Chains A and B, each alone.
Chain A
Amino acid sequence: MLRLDGIAAGYGRTNCLHGVSLEVREGEVVALLGANGAGKTTTLMAISGLVPVRQGRVVFQGRALGGLPPADVVGLGISHVPEGRRILPRLTVLENLELGGYLRRDRPALRQDLERLYELFPVLGERRRQLAGTLSGGEQQMLAIARGLMARPKLLLLDEPSLGLSPKLVVTIFETIARLNREGMTILLVEQNAYLALRIAHRGYVLEAGRLALTDTAPNLAQNPQVKSAYLGG
């Protein structure tokens, strides 16, 4: 579904990705792991067109995305839920969700999707008129994911959805992600929490300083001594 072929990307004049290649197949959850500053966020931004790709290719469903602006990438079916949630605190929950459906013109289907998301995330339904900034951290993460889903993506890019959440909420978020995947969503998941990420992922990649260090199935990665010592605290 999505393939990166040796992409180089970065900010300003310097690259911080040096030839990253990876693949996400339809129906998969793929975990992208790595230490702070390894380039995980940059990889997602390169896919969604938020940073320019200087070398290599990004191919989505047989189409090269090279140079497409973010709006077009969303239009093709890739939704990026950015790091740190980035909900709009001064707008209501509903306004945030409507923002996610910005590119869609099919009003009745939008309303159906809203209802479906309220079923998936009942808190969001209860608080639809509340300012998003008054939600708890976990609820805000739900909102960020729901907003991404409002674009009806084929591929969801999740950047550290567990960031700053209590352990209990982290589990809830991961259960939600696993459920989305069971219902058919393809997901590329960036995580610091390698342990949980590898439990719901099918395969994984490990980035180190802008290069791919390792790739394997999720169970194998979870057993890999290198991964264990670096990311699983053991």
Chain B
Amino acid sequence: MKKVLEVKNLKTHFFTQKGVVPAVDGVDIEVGAGEVVGIVGESGCGKSVTAMSILQLLQFPGKTVDGEVLLDGEDLLLKSPEEMYKYRGNKISMIFQEPMTSLNPVYTVGKQVAEILRVHTNISKVEARKKVIQMFEKVGIPEPIKRYDAYPHQLSGGLRQRVMIAMAIICDPVLMIADEPTTALDVTIEAQILYLMKQLQKDSGTSIVMITHNLGVVAEVCDRVYVMYAGKVMETTDVFTLFENPLHPYTSGLLNSIPKLTRVDEDLYTIRGIVPNLLNLPEGCRFCPRCDRAMKICTVMEPPLYDVGDGHQVRCFLYDKELMNG
């Protein structure tokens, strides 16, 4: 499969007064053409920072200090700011978590979507309006002509997120990054939005990076998944294997903490402990203090990513053959 996005050894740090926060600490992600790739992990593990780094949207004190972000083989981190403007919203678009606040309250939603066309193409105002209304129709906004002139506060959360989606796909990007696009929405609306995104993805063949802390969303839409913990990828595999045969204790923990109807009698499992302070990471494996299967080596050495076949990789010494057999 052709690779649309390759993130290699991405390191993004925050240079705060208390010290350097390694929010993203050597992350590798690959996204194939037409693929929907999930990034999951508890909040604070660096999912959003990874996304913002790909688009280079981070501002002081955040800075990408190392790595490559290859889009169709070209390293975005080497592009000048002028060149980056042409990528944002055009080749890579982004949808954010808060549909309530992600739109500018003083402009109509139609105008805000049209703006992105006007920035990246030479389209006339009238043409842009037409195209936006068509796009509103496509993303399932009822009465698109009327809605064009609506202000964000006049729309529901679900409709606003549809507006954001229209904005994200109107320039036909090769990659769309959705950062928790449904977290702020009701469950029914969430299902509708996920269905819409899946549908649009099938039509256009755009690759999607779906960031979420919700494994249900992953199961719903993703082909492949990266499990992140404290700025590192802990496990990556296809979505079936993730649910059928999770290898990393952290992944198992996440899966066990999903409420299941078949286990009503048991208490809900939670991973013990809390996400470590990035300013003060433990020696060795960063998940070790919370891990039920931790070994001696885990406290002193950071495990590498072990390849266990079929593109399944896991960052855990339990899968080091020599170590475990010898």
A and B physically associate: no
A residues adjacent to B (C-beta < 8 A) = none
